[in-house]
Amino acid sequence: MARNFAYRTAPLLVAVACTGPSAQTTDTDPTTGTSGGETTTTAGPTTAPTTGTATDPTTHDATTVVTTDATTSEPPTGTTSTASTGDTETTSGTASTGDTETTTETGGEPDPYAEAEPLFAFGARAEFDITLSDEAIAALNADGKEYTKGDLVAVIDGQTYELPEIGVRLKGNYGSYRTLDQKAAFLLNFDRYVDDQRLLGLEKLAVNNMVQDCSMQQEILGYMLFRDVGVAAPRAGHVVVRVNGEPYGLYTAVESVDNEPYLDHWYGSDKGSIYEGAYGSDIENQLVPSFDQDNGDDIASADLYAFAAALDAIADPATFTADVAAVLDLPRYLDFAATELYLGHWDGYAWTKNNYYIHRLQEDGALWTFMPWGIDQILRDHLDPFGGQGRLAQMCAASLPCRELLADSVDHVLARVDALDLAGAAAELGASIAPAVAADPRKECSDGQNTDAIAANVDFFLQRKASVEAGLACTVPSDVDLDGDGYSACTDDCNDDDPDVHPDAQEACDLDDDNCDGIWDEDPLCPHCVEKDLPGPGTAQLCFVALPFAEAEADCVAQGGHLLSIPSQEIQDWAVAEAFAVAGSDWWIGLNDVDAEDDFVWTDGAPLAFTAWNEGEPNNVGEEDCVNLPTWSGGLWNDLGCGTPLPYICRTP
């Protein structure tokens, strides 16, 4: 069936562009965050700040100091400023009003959303000096997720803003959380202690450390695409951070989605409900308590329960699009999902049920929309446009009319990628931040890794169109049945080149998955392991019938061995290649800390002389005491709950 191509409309409200001088006009080097001289760059943790006296602002009221360097002859286009050229004016009051006012070009009312554009302008790089007292440092060291008081001096597009007594806390979760002696990420709340204090109209701002993004640009590029497609998404820009005068390096500043100008711009009102979905959160009755409400009246999540109930009532995939449109802004959701999947956002809603917000105005007939978050691990995975674990993603994939609409949204995303030239944007942005990356003393990726990651981003944008369009061949699944066995390769047939392999086939002892249930030779009469010679002495049994860790170890012992221990990179590479060739799933190895937390040992008693942990692992999320080789990390080690059934590798004599 032919698919119709349709462009999406622009956001509800269109911001007025606010541009300004591109040069920094302070005496500080914006690329290094220092006042000159040489900078020694070292990767990894450094010491925490030890005093709260360095660079302490002298003003302690809600104050803005707007400084315009003499080289700037006029205020930014579309703005007026009370600061005259070469002078400094200090005014008490709200930190983003009175001193710098953003107006429309026709002289209308100020546009608060456009006021923050200088912070987020592509290629711009602001400077943030955060001052913390000794007491504030101690509080953050004790509990980084609780706000404490700090002061901020921000230099944005040549203008200086002083904000005393802002709220400061640390930010991040399992993979990105860092303490103050590392490259900590921050959440800044400008009016937590000073009523109505704002920075360029913003109440809150995330300052992300980019430790999971060696390219240090993915959030800026990804959110740019979401917004250009027409999806409500935050703006992001680079900023160099110092804490008590100590350089912390290059960060990404991301606006919070509950800022009033953001909500007014995208939804015409700041009164709606916003719920944040964490890992595993979805629109299901039993999962509603897993959401955090970030905006709107506290109605005990009644609107979210009603959303889940509405989805429960949809039973017919053929009428899904019409039925769900009563509660969901379907075109916007599909654009959101298509953009997530295009970007390879495996840690988002559609694919994994993580890192997203949902929004609805608290009024009769209002529809739900989705907003992206946490996109610092994108531009790697070529995800299936019809895949994913999210409830709405699966309901759409089961509905032919919805699949066709999603394919239209994917076409729209592809057109916007071409229009933005994101491959060129990635290269340009990478070149512009290179000096700041080199000067970053706390970065966790080397300069070479940064260069390689930027090149990988460029390659992703150049190659992604082909892989997405290949996936769109499955828009109508029945169209894809190469072996003519009546089962589509898109949904049912695990080998569309063999008519004897399909969901209703008889399983044979042939080291193959004949009935497409994901398990080789599950007949009890069939052998359940494949024997392979290990590099060096001994053999390995690659056992493809999934078992929990303890049962897998017991089976290895019954075969005269133990779960595999890995003493070297050679064995690691061999295990990953051989296991994934047998089955593209995660595999148990013998490492665990069941007996003593964080004391990892091999079940065969071998010394732990070699490790190959994935970044951020082990993290013990939910009592994860056993180690596996996951496909999603390319076989780098991950800790997992020991009760999970997985294939396993035994080392035998």
pLDDT in tens, 475-489: 999 999 999 999 999
- CA 161, CA 88: separation in Å to the nearest integer? 11
DSSP for 247-316?
A: EEEEEEEEE-TT-HHHHHHHHS-S-SEEEEE-TT--SSGGGGGGPEEEES---TTHHHHHHHHHHHT---
Phi, psi of 407 (to 5 degrees): -60, -35
What is the chain's length? 653
- pLDDT (mean) for 605-620: 93
Strand 638-640 to 626-629 pairing: antiparallel
Instruction: For tokens 């665990």, name the residue.
Output: 592
- CA 507, CA 511: separation in Å to the nearest integer? 10
Q: Are 545 and 528 in contact (CB under 8 A)?
A: yes
Q: Residue 537 is inside which H or E element, if any?
A: none
CA angle 515, 516, 521 (to 5 degrees): 60
User: Which tens digits make up the pLDDT trace of 238-296?
Assistant: 999 999 999 999 999 999 999 999 999 999 999 999 999 988 999 999 999 999 999 99
52 pLDDT more than 90: no
DSSP structure class, residue 199 = B
> pLDDT-derived band of residue 529, with 50, 70 and 90 as boundaries?
very high
- CA 252, CA 236: separation in Å to the nearest integer? 6
User: Which tens digits make up the pLDDT trace of 65-100?
Assistant: 543 332 333 323 333 333 333 333 333 333 333 333
Q: Give residue 200's Cα distance to chain centre.
A: 25
- pLDDT (mean) for 573-589: 93
- pLDDT (mean) for 146-157: 98
Strand 529-533 to 539-547 pairing: antiparallel
- CA 327, CA 14: separation in Å to the nearest integer? 25
Q: What percent of the chain has pLDDT over 90?
A: 74
Least confident of 62-66, 357-361, 619-623: 62-66
Residue 241 pLDDT: 98
DSSP structure class, residue 318 = G
> pLDDT-derived band of residue 161, with 50, 70 and 90 as boundaries?
very high
Q: What percent of the chain has pLDDT over 70?
A: 83
Chain mean pLDDT for the chain = 85
- CA 167, CA 146: separation in Å to the nearest integer? 9
- CA 161, CA 142: separation in Å to the nearest integer? 29
5 pLDDT more than 90: no
User: Which tens digits make up the pLDDT trace of 440-462?
Assistant: 999 999 999 999 999 999 999 99
Say which residue, 10 or 321, is predicted with more confidence: 321
**Which class for 469: exposed (0-12), middle (13-18), buried (19 or more C-beta within 10 A)?**
middle
The closest alpha carbon to 303, from 367, 396, 392, belongs to 367
The closest alpha carbon to 372, from 402, 349, 389, 352, belongs to 349
58 pLDDT more than 70: no
Q: Residue 546 is inside which H or E element, if any?
A: strand 539-547
Most confident listed range (229-233, 275-279, 629-633): 229-233
- CA 131, CA 144: separation in Å to the nearest integer? 16
Phi, psi of 500 (to 5 degrees): -90, 0
The closest alpha carbon to 118, from 259, 266, 237, belongs to 237
Q: What type of residue is 41?
A: T
3-class DSSP state of 526: coil
- CA 234, CA 227: separation in Å to the nearest integer? 8
DSSP for 67-108?
A: E--TT--SPPTTEEESPPTT-EEEEES-TTSSSEEEB-TTS-
Task: Determine if the peptide bond prior to 618 is cis (ω within 30°).
Answer: yes
Q: Give residue 306's Cα distance to chain centre.
A: 28
Residue 94 CA: distances (Å) to CA of 97, 101, 160, 499: 6, 12, 14, 71
Residue 565 pLDDT: 97
Count helices and strands (H / E) in the chain.
15, 23
116 pLDDT more than 60: yes
Phi, psi of 585 (to 5 degrees): -140, 175
Q: Per residue in 285-313, is it b (16+ CB within 10 Å) or e — as a string?
A: eebbebbebebbeeeebebbeebbebbee
> pLDDT-derived band of residue 523, with 50, 70 and 90 as boundaries?
confident
Residue 65 pLDDT: 53
> pLDDT-derived band of residue 1, with 50, 70 and 90 as boundaries?
very low
- pLDDT (mean) for 500-509: 90
Residue 177 pLDDT: 94
Cβ-proximal residues to 155 (8 Å cutoff; 6+ apart), any chain? 24, 26, 28, 30, 126, 127, 161
The domain 529-652 is placed in CATH, from the list 3.10.100.10, 3.40.50.10860, 3.30.160.270, 3.30.1370.60, at 3.10.100.10
21 pLDDT more than 90: no
189 pairs with which residues across the strands? 167, 204
11 pLDDT more than 50: no
Residue 148 pLDDT: 98
Residue 623 pLDDT: 86
> pLDDT-derived band of residue 525, with 50, 70 and 90 as boundaries?
confident
Residue 15 pLDDT: 31
Q: Are 415 and 7 in contact (CB under 8 A)?
A: yes
101 pLDDT more than 60: no
17 pLDDT more than 90: no
Query: Could you tell me the residue ranges of all domains in the chain?
Result: 112-260, 265-472, 529-652
4 pLDDT more than 50: no
Q: Which two three-digit tokens encode residue 421?
A: 């030239």
End-to-end CA distance of the chain: 58
User: Which tens digits make up the pLDDT trace of 366-420?
Assistant: 999 999 999 999 999 999 999 999 999 999 999 999 999 999 999 999 999 999 9
- CA 442, CA 450: separation in Å to the nearest integer? 14
36 pLDDT more than 50: no
Q: Which two three-digit tokens encode residue 513?
A: 């998955």
Residue 108 pLDDT: 61
Strand 125-131 to 236-243 pairing: parallel
> pLDDT-derived band of residue 512, with 50, 70 and 90 as boundaries?
confident
